[in-house]
Structure 1
Amino acid sequence: MNNNFWKAGHIPTLFAAFLYFDLSFMVWYLLGPLAVQIAADLQLTTEQRGLMVATPILAGAVLRLLMGVLADRLSPKTAGIIGQVIVIAALLAAWQLGIHSYAQALGLGVCLGMAGASFAVALPLASQWYPAEHQGKALGIAGAGNSGTVLAALAAPLLAAAFGWTNVFGLALIPLVLTLAIFSLLARNAPGRSPAKSVADYLKALKDRDSWWFMFFYSVTFGGFIGLASALPGYFHDQYGLSPVTAGYYTAACVFGGSLMRPLGGALADRFGGIRTLSGMYALAAICIGAVGFHLASSMAALALFVSAMLGLGAGNGAVFQLVPQRFAKEIGVMTGLVGMAGGIGGFLLAAGLGAIKQGTGDYQLGLWLFAVLGVVAWFGLQSVKRRWRTTWGSVTLTAARV
């Protein structure tokens, strides 16, 4: 990144958006690395465990739309503070009152969905400060808050083994409160923000076919990332008999790769074009996930393929959001909510679907292959629109960014 990027926007806000997103993702994902221990104590089936870890993803998907409306009408900073307070209150209640049933675990998952809705705050907050040619890098950095999943995957199983999984909710409050204070001090709303969008604006956006393409593309990249991140602790435990802590280490390696590649994916899209970058990432992810489905005897081989797939999905996340602001510059708040919601729904379907397929067939193979096929479909979908995009809104006569 050159000096022009660092001078183009507001660095304290970019850092605050990243930190807020990072810690929000950590708690949004918290039930995933704790799933094996919670399921053992609450005597959950594989399908119930899958639905438990998928519930925060679905709730986050729906709440992203609400948070997007709040960010439009109030401001991204104000919406972020409101969301963070709600998450802190939910964790405090879970810590003090405990989780004693499957229904209560699902209820906590719904509340943690507000943390997943941070997507609709962090990305517009950063995006509105930066010009078109730097959108990929700016949104890649803000979106690298996906790395919060690494913190949860590494720390949560260890802390649960040492102090009990209920106390992990209390320990998570410490960094969350600190982050709320930092975010409140550093984040600034961009000057000259677009007027608040109405419900009609959302309905209007849904009438544009490109909206649906972006929602589909992100449901595969981000949905694949967060869905696999939530399901992998259980997958490694079931498939290879790994302990919750070791399964957490394996999962952390996977999500670290995906998180690292999000800003790099945005930078690659700025350099080579979002369509070209995204096409390569879909191909990589589909090949690797398809290969994992062949009953690999070695857990290390499966780990290597999952890491490679997550690298592709993470970079794909950055590439999608290099393209979205080019196509919908004036509707970025609306589109962040819609596209983010679609990504969350994709993650819910993948995490819950893998659990249901494992429960029904005794194997994860069919679920993995179905997701790989979806990646292939997304690749062909991208090829079908690239010519139109590059000759209309992505034309060099209309934008300085590479599409």
Structure 2
Amino acid sequence: MNEQRFRFFSFEGKTRILHLSWMAFFISFLVWFNHAPLMAAIREQFSLSDAEVNTLLLLNVALTIPARILIGMLVDNLGPRKVYSLVLVLSGIFCLAFALADSFEQLAITRFLLGFVGAGFVVGIRLISEWYPARELGLAEGIYGGWGNFGAAFAGLTLPALALAFGGDEGWRCAVGTTGVIAIAYSAVFYLMVRDTPKGSTYFKPKKGGAMEVTSKGDFYLYLIMNLPLFIALALIVWKLGPTKLGMVNETTTYMLYGLITIMMVFQFIRIWQVNGHVFRQPVPEFDRYPFKQVALLNLTYMASFGSELAVVSMLPLYFLDTFEVSPVLAGMLGGSFALMNLIGRPGGGYVADRFGRKLTIMLTMAGIAIGYLVMGQINSSWPLALAVLMVLFCSVFVQAGCGAVYASVPLVKRRLTGQVAGMAGAYGNVGGVVFLLVLSLVSPAMFFVVIGVFALAILALVGVFMDEPDPQTSEVMPDGSVRMIEVS
């Protein structure tokens, strides 16, 4: 941890952990989105309707919302090495099951389970924060997130050709199954080559599991409020699958799922009380406090950045096709350019946050996102195609940089809670995807962009008023009960 310069072209120490981590995330996203470029073959073989295709796409992100919360808790308690290995093994098994499916029902169940792999992202956030000092953390987390996210684009670039190479009607199965085998094999590599912390460092764990710790009465209520959108998003997914929309779930099952979500919410609130009820009986020592408003603001920022990315990437190819009447191939390439900016946008956002401050960087990225989407809302067929693409790329750079800035800040909230903070922020990204896609189903694409832009402006105002720059030191309680001050700048 005493290395004074950032070294990327190395495979020793913390740099080895960075490379092993972004590769694990890359494989996670490769598995998570392996169906998208092969959907035409899957649709043809199973004679899927448009509603069934939409159902598979929706189910692919449904489980990720609660899974990111769960994985965040597990990684804080069990450590990144074990948890990421487990995520990769399970996702590989689910992936093989999807490849072997012989009915729509099996496709749907296994695709729903594969949403679990999207939670792997939060594991690397905690792992890298254990190895990198704050002055390099934003860049390291940005490389991890940006290069890992490229797994989705890599799936689109390679899996159709791989399916063609295998040949026949079953080529898509072999291509999908290959990604599952890669995930299982890499889980062993990750388990054998990764350490949770540098030698001699302490891995701080939460005092209690099952819910995030808060340190004041006001934070307790804010934590309850910030949990509500997670369950509302799940209810929206059920509603969209229900008889009034896609019609893939009957009325009885819909109400049963609503009931299950309600039970989950009540159970979560009870657990929050069990973990944090003590703040109403006695104050938490000053040295052990942290402001939960930081978590809430990071959640909303990630909702505006990654949440909008999830929604925009899914609609952009069709948007270019309908607006400019380009070929489907060109429309797909232009739409994919939005996600391609992850390679430089996330590391760039993290690097700027390291150098010029977390709050300032988040404010700048929110301003860029707002301007980008508001201008995209003015695009029409009279625009030169090149100018429209340039505007999309401008917006994308700020979206990806915003993601990088968020995760440059997450590990500095409270060391022992990093996994849970990362999990909650990540879940809000998926919430944003669900909410913004719902908005898209209700308004025109132009108004859809405007809504996201206005939302980003609102978050910019909240960050400007309420967010704090991380303190130069944070404290953690050692296993022997002593207090250790940790430098974060």
Q: TM-score, normalised by structure 1?
A: 0.84
User: Do structure 1's residue 56 and structure 2's residue 60 form an aligned pair?
Assistant: yes
Q: Distance in 2 between matches of 1:143 and 1:186?
A: 20
With over 3 angstroms needed to count, the CA separation of the structure-2 counterparts of 1:38 and 1:280, relative to structure 1, is farther
Q: 1:341 aligns with which of 419, 422, 427?
A: 427
Q: Distance in 2 between matches of 1:264 and 1:168?
A: 33
Per-residue CA deviation, residues 231-258 of structure 1 (Å, 9 max, x unaligned), is: 3344445555556544442233221113
Task: Report the equivalent of 2:48.
Answer: 42
User: Do structure 1's residue 318 and structure 2's residue 404 form an aligned pair?
Assistant: yes
Offset, 1:104: 4.7
Q: Distance in 2 between matches of 1:312 and 1:142?
A: 17
Task: Report the equivalent of 1:147.
Answer: 150
Q: Distance in 1 between matches of 2:42 and 2:323?
A: 18
User: Do structure 1's residue 204 and structure 2's residue 210 form an aligned pair?
Assistant: no
The Cα RMSD (Å) is 3.1
Task: Report the equivalent of 2:190.
Answer: 183
Q: Which protein is bigger by CA-based radius of gyration? A: 2
Q: Distance in 1 between matches of 2:107 and 2:366?
A: 34
Task: Report the equivalent of 1:271.
Answer: 355
Offset, 1:95: 1.2
Offset, 1:372: 1.6
With over 3 angstroms needed to count, the CA separation of the structure-2 counterparts of 1:180 and 1:343, relative to structure 1, is same
With over 3 angstroms needed to count, the CA separation of the structure-2 counterparts of 1:178 and 1:241, relative to structure 1, is farther
Task: Report the equivalent of 1:194.
Answer: 204
Task: Report the equivalent of 1:89.
Answer: 93
Counterpart code for 2:25: F
Q: Distance in 2 between matches of 1:174 and 1:14?
A: 22
Counterpart code for 1:253: S
Q: Distance in 2 between matches of 1:351 and 1:29?
A: 18
Offset, 1:114: 1.6
With over 3 angstroms needed to count, the CA separation of the structure-2 counterparts of 1:225 and 1:167, relative to structure 1, is same
Per-residue CA deviation, residues 104-140 of structure 1 (Å, 9 max, x unaligned), is: 5543332221221011211111111122222212212
Q: After alignment, is 312-321 or 153-162 more displaced?
A: 153-162
Native 8 Å contact 2:317 2:336 kept in 1: no
Task: Report the equivalent of 1:71.
Answer: 75
Q: Distance in 1 between matches of 2:101 and 2:328?
A: 24
With over 3 angstroms needed to count, the CA separation of the structure-2 counterparts of 1:278 and 1:267, relative to structure 1, is same
Q: 2:459 aligns with which of 378, 381, 384?
A: 378
Q: Note the residue ranges of structure 1 that are not aligned, 5 or more in a row.
A: none
Counterpart code for 1:290: L
Paired residue secondary structure (2:196) = coil
Q: Note the residue ranges of structure 2 that are not aligned, 5 or more in a row.
A: 221-291, 475-484
Native 8 Å contact 1:53 1:231 kept in 2: no
More helix by share: 1
Counterpart code for 2:417: E
Task: Report the equivalent of 2:245.
Answer: none
- Relative contact order higher in (CA < 8 Å, ≥ 6 apart): 1
Q: TM-score, normalised by structure 2?
A: 0.70
Q: After alignment, is 165-174 or 250-259 more displaced?
A: 165-174
Counterpart code for 1:364: P
Q: Distance in 1 between matches of 2:316 and 2:107?
A: 19
Counterpart code for 1:130: Y
Aligned length: 388
